[in-house]
């Protein structure tokens, strides 16, 4: 693939239609300024990987930033090429996982507090990750060293069985979904994390506050479920992934707050108004496309390249759908720590391990009447490979064509918009239209 793309310097901006997307963007900037102010006053500050149970820190009122969210911000602000250039200068490999390594690369920038996104990332006092891949903990270790943070690493367990239709069991029947000893171990891990945070920060854990946080999350994700189902069942689609990915991901990292639950409700109500007004995102919709993989944070306009020419709308992504199916855990009052364990231990299974992910993707493709799947697989992340062969086979065996291409969600240096647009256009013309799908 030719990476020398003159268009990468000033990419076309995506056209967004939802107020909720703009509101989320404005809120996260304001919230980040408030977080920095708290850190400057001497509060402890956590930097977490996305699969860490952030609900514990939320319940303890410990400010934190999520690694994947911050990587997306750096990409959207066009900082990733600079940061990865610094990695290269320091002699690191050019194929480190961009999601995990962006903040580490940023920590090498001596001007970060001036030129970084929103004044750069404050120095965390705590860095927390899980042992979900071979390199992640080492990258977090290097990141923590550069910031003077204390590193805390949590274990990761694997399932011994795969119940069918995990999304039906997750909200209420997690004792059937998981091996009991796996849940037992995760609860002990949560207790150990709580003890560490209490000793480190001096703040005390309150189980009633955790129940409040968990119920707010259930409220938020229930609105996402209604939104996901509304979009799936409406044709033409009222919105595209350009709006939903941004609106949902930004609010997910605020989950457990009143603002996030209210924002999820406002997102549903705004889209419902579009449906009631018979307003469509692509009035000439002919093809409904599923985007598999992480968001293409440095070039969201790419998703809209195919609307006018083909009537092809990217209307599904994992962000809204995972909110709908993976997070809700009802009746948390009975055992809030076990409910939280049941939420976070399965995330890697649901997203990255076939047949958990493949069966769910197929279920969602049918629900959304998908005509074709575009599947971005990073070259530099073993987790994100997620059994792509089996995912593709499962979908195509069901008659849904799949295009797999390799690209980086964060590092724009490895992106050629013209080449990738051509790949998707050829896929639409030869695999979907000429292939008889439409």
Helices (H), 285-355: 307-310, 318-325, 336-344, 347-352
Rounded to an integer, what is the distance from CA 97 to the centroid of its chain?
A: 15
Cis amide bond preceding 261, omega within 30: no
Q: Is 320 exposed, middle or buried (0-12, 13-18, 19+ CB in 10 A)?
A: buried
| Residue 315: φ, ψ to 5° | -120, 0
Helices (H), 253-317: 258-276, 307-310
Average pLDDT, consecutive stretches of 10 residues, N- to C-terminus, the chain (438 residues)? 42 73 93 96 96 97 95 87 90 82 92 91 96 87 95 94 92 95 97 98 98 98 98 96 92 96 97 95 95 87 94 96 96 97 93 93 98 88 74 97 89 84 96 77
| Residue 194: φ, ψ to 5° | -60, -45
What is the DSSP annotation of 166-206? Answer: HHHHTTT-HHHHS-HHHHHHHHHHHHHHHHHHHHHH-PPP-
The kind and range of the H/E element at 99 are helix 98-106
Q: Which residue has the tokens 């992504």?
A: 317
Packed helices 136-147 and 98-106: angle between N→C axes, nearest 10 degrees: 10
Give the pTM.
0.93
Q: What confidence tens digit (pLDDT) does each residue in 112-151 have?
A: 888 899 999 999 999 999 998 878 889 999 999 999 999 9
Residues 433 and 438: their CA atoms lie apart, in Å, by 5
pLDDT at 162: 87
User: 10 — alpha (psi -120 to 50), left (phi > 0) or beta?
Assistant: beta
Q: Are 305 and 421 in contact (CB under 8 A)?
A: yes
């Amino acid at each position: 693939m030719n990476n020398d793309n003159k268009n990468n310097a000033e990419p076309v901006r995506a056209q967004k239609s939802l107020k909720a997307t703009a509101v989320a963007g404005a809120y996260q900037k304001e919230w980040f300024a408030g977080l920095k102010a708290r850190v400057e006053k001497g509060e402890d500050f956590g930097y977490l990987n996305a699969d860490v149970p952030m609900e514990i820190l939320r319940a303890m009122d410990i400010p934190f930033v999520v690694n994947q969210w911050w990587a997306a911000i750096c990409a959207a602000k066009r900082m990733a090429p600079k940061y990865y250039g610094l990695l290269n200068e320091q002699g690191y490999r050019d194929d480190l996982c961009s999601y995990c390594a962006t903040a580490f690369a940023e920590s090498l920038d001596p001007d970060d507090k001036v030129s970084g996104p929103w004044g750069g990332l404050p120095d965390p006092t705590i860095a927390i990750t899980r042992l979900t891949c071979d390199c992640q903990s080492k990258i977090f270790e290097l990141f923590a060293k550069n910031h003077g943070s204390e590193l805390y690493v949590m274990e990761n367990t694997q399932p011994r069985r795969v119940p069918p239709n995990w999304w039906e069991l997750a909200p209420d029947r997690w004792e059937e979904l998981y091996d009991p000893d796996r849940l037992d171990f995760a609860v002990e891990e949560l207790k150990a994390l709580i003890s560490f945070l209490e000793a480190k920060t001096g703040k005390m854990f309150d189980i009633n506050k955790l129940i409040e946080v968990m119920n707010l999350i259930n409220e938020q994700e229930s609105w996402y479920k209604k939104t996901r189902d509304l979009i799936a069942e409406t044709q033409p689609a009222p919105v595209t992934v350009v709006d939903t990915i941004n609106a949902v991901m930004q609010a997910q990292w605020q989950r457990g707050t009143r603002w996030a639950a209210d924002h999820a409700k406002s997102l549903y109500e705004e889209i419902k108004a579009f449906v009631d007004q018979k307003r469509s995102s692509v009035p000439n919709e002919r093809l409904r496309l599923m985007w598999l993989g992480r968001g293409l944070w440095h070039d969201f306009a790419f998703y809209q390249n195919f609307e006018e020419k083909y009537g092809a709308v990217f209307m599904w992504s994992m962000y809204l759908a995972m909110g709908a199916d993976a997070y809700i855990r009802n009746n948390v009052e009975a055992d809030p720590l076990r409910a939280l364990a049941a939420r976070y231990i399965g995330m890697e299974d649901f997203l990255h391990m076939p047949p958990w992910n493949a069966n769910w993707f197929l279920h969602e493709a049918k629900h959304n009447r998908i005509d074709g799947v575009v599947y971005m697989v990073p070259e530099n992340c073993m987790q994100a490979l997620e059994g792509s062969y089996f995912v593709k086979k499962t979908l195509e065996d069901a008659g849904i064509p799949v295009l797999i291409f390799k690209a980086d969600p964060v590092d724009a240096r490895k992106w050629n918009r013209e080449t990738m647009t051509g790949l998707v256009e050829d896929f639409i013309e030869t695999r979907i239209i000429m292939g008889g799908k439409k």
